Amino acid sequence: MTALGDYRKREESISYSVESAGMGETHELLSLNIGPHHPATHGVLRLIATLEGEVVRDIKPIIGYVHTGIEKTAEQKSYWKAIPVVERMDYLSYYFNAMAYCGAVETLLGLEVPPRAQYLRVIHLELNRIMSHLVWLGTSALDLGAMSMFWYCFRERETILDLFEMSSGQRMHTRYFQIGGVFEDIPLGFAEKLQKFVDAMPARADQYADLLEKNQILLSRLRDTCILDEQTLLGWNVTGPLLRAAGNPWDLRKAAPYSSYDHFEFKIPVGSVGDNYDRYRVRHAELYESTKIIDQALNGLPEGPTIADDRKVVLPPRHELATSMEALIHHFKLVTEGFRVPEGEAYYPIESPRGELGCFVRSDGSAKPARVHMRDPSFVNLQSTAPMVKDSYIADLIATLAMVDPVLGGVDR
């Protein structure tokens, strides 16, 4: 029997009919297929749920529908050309993907990032965090039946995307972060527009809370549903807002600050019970904290270069190409071959909107990475959905999936 024949046989052997589970004639288990194309799965996620009446006894996530082999593709690109590829993994937090990858390569190179670039990175990372949480809030509220929240969230998201477009020319997958710093300084008018956004955002977040938290339907769907305690979550290697909702204040921005996060004052929101309501509250509170960080970074933005001054790694400024032979040679070498990275391995973890995003890069001394691996928080956190929804109603499964916030681009890579 060929592998393909085997596969077809297995596919056909899945039964969606009512099966007796040895519980007598009055009780039966039902296997229900949800997805891969279903609005409530936030992407192409397929779940096989085993139901007893309305109660979920088990779910099996089936993933891989948007696997595009990004890690393999990155191995074929020179280091700087791999940035756009890794950005496309988790398509809601592209700045974070680029940051983790650039951080790992910078660690291998021993490259120091100038303070202004670090601050600009923080500004964009936190804008990206707000943007990602807004998409999460809008779509989650949609899953729970709150239609208008979606439009309000996407209104603010538009403002953020406009800012991204201003600083880099792109709205998504901006490739703004470079190895050694950022692509270029923020343009004129960016700071004013950003300040306006920062001033407006807390009031907007208040409005979201007013819309959602006085809604009895939403509250009763979130409160005390699908609780998972801290120790169990740690066993499932869960990080990010899900872990913080259970009361563990683990946040890499505070615990192991990178990119000047120790310069800013912010709080880490934590939950108390670890139910869906806490998961919602933690992310909602993070909107305010991220706004505070952006405000501090923008007003304390140091002067100086926006990219490291290592001509063996960083492209020379455009104007030098016309006057300096040296710059022309460097430019040619960097664009054609790329730069070589000394042999070694690095694991660079950062706090993405969904948890610990770690990039592992192995260099074999050539101009292309020998291995790029992303520890994507969605991929790991998704496993914890099954213990969360066990023995709760199928309606809570949809709410929990929304609160887990998996991004399938990051899960499948």
Partner 1 sequence: MPDAAGLEVLADALRAADPSSVLGTTFDRGRAEIQIDPSKNIEVIELLRERGFNFLASLHGVDYYPEEPRLGVVYELLDMKEVDRVSLKARVTIDAAKVTSVTSIWPGADFPERECYDMFGVVFEGHPDLRRILMPEDFEGFPQRRDFPIGGEPILFTFNETERYGKDR
Closest separation in Å from C-beta 238 to partner 1: 7
Secondary structure of residue 174 in the 3-state scheme = coil
Does 88 engage in binding with partner 1 (CB under 8 A)? no
Which part of the chain contacts partner 1 (CB under 8 A), choosing from 113-121, 185-193, 204-212, 370-378? 370-378
> Contact at 8 Å (CB) between 98 and 255?
no
* 43 counts as binding partner 1 under rule CB under 8 A: no
Question: Residue 3, interface with partner 1 (CB under 8 A)?
Answer: yes
349 counts as binding partner 1 under rule CB under 8 A: yes
What are the strands of the beta sheet with 55-62, ordered from one edge? Answer: 18-20, 28-34, 46-52, 55-62
Q: Are 349 and 356 in contact (CB under 8 A)?
A: yes
Q: Cβ distance 367 to 338 under 8 Å?
A: yes
Please pick, from the candidates 158, 165, 262, 345, the single residue that binds partner 1 as defined by CB under 8 A: 345
Phi, psi for residue 307 in degrees, rounded to 5:
-150, 150
Least separation in angstroms between CB 2 and partner 1:
7
Neighbours of 231 (CB within 10 A): 9
Under the binding rule (CB under 8 A), the answer on residue 268 touching partner 1 is: no
Would you say 292 and 130 are in contact if contact means Cβ atoms under 8 Å apart?
A: no
Can residue 380 be called a binding residue for partner 1 (CB under 8 A)? yes
The site for partner 1, by CB under 8 A, has a size of 49
- Kindly tell me which residue out of 164, 236, 261, 339 binds partner 1, with binding defined by CB under 8 A: 236
Which residue intervals of 300-382 are DSSP H helices?
325-336, 377-381
Neighbours of 171 (CB within 10 A): 13
CB neighbours of residue 67 within 10 Å: 13
Extended beta strands in 119-200, E state: 177-178, 181-182
Query: Of the candidates 27, 37, 67, 223, which one interacts with partner 1 according to CB under 8 A?
Result: 67
Query: Of the two residues 175 and 371, which places its CB atom closer to partner 1 in the complex?
Result: 371
Q: Which is nearer to partner 1, 109 or 137 (CB)?
A: 109
| Interface positions with partner 1 (CB under 8 A) | 2-4, 6-8, 10, 63-64, 67, 69, 71-73, 75-76, 107-108, 110, 234-238, 248, 250, 255-256, 344-347, 349, 356, 358, 360, 362, 370-371, 373, 375, 379-380, 382-384, 387, 412-413
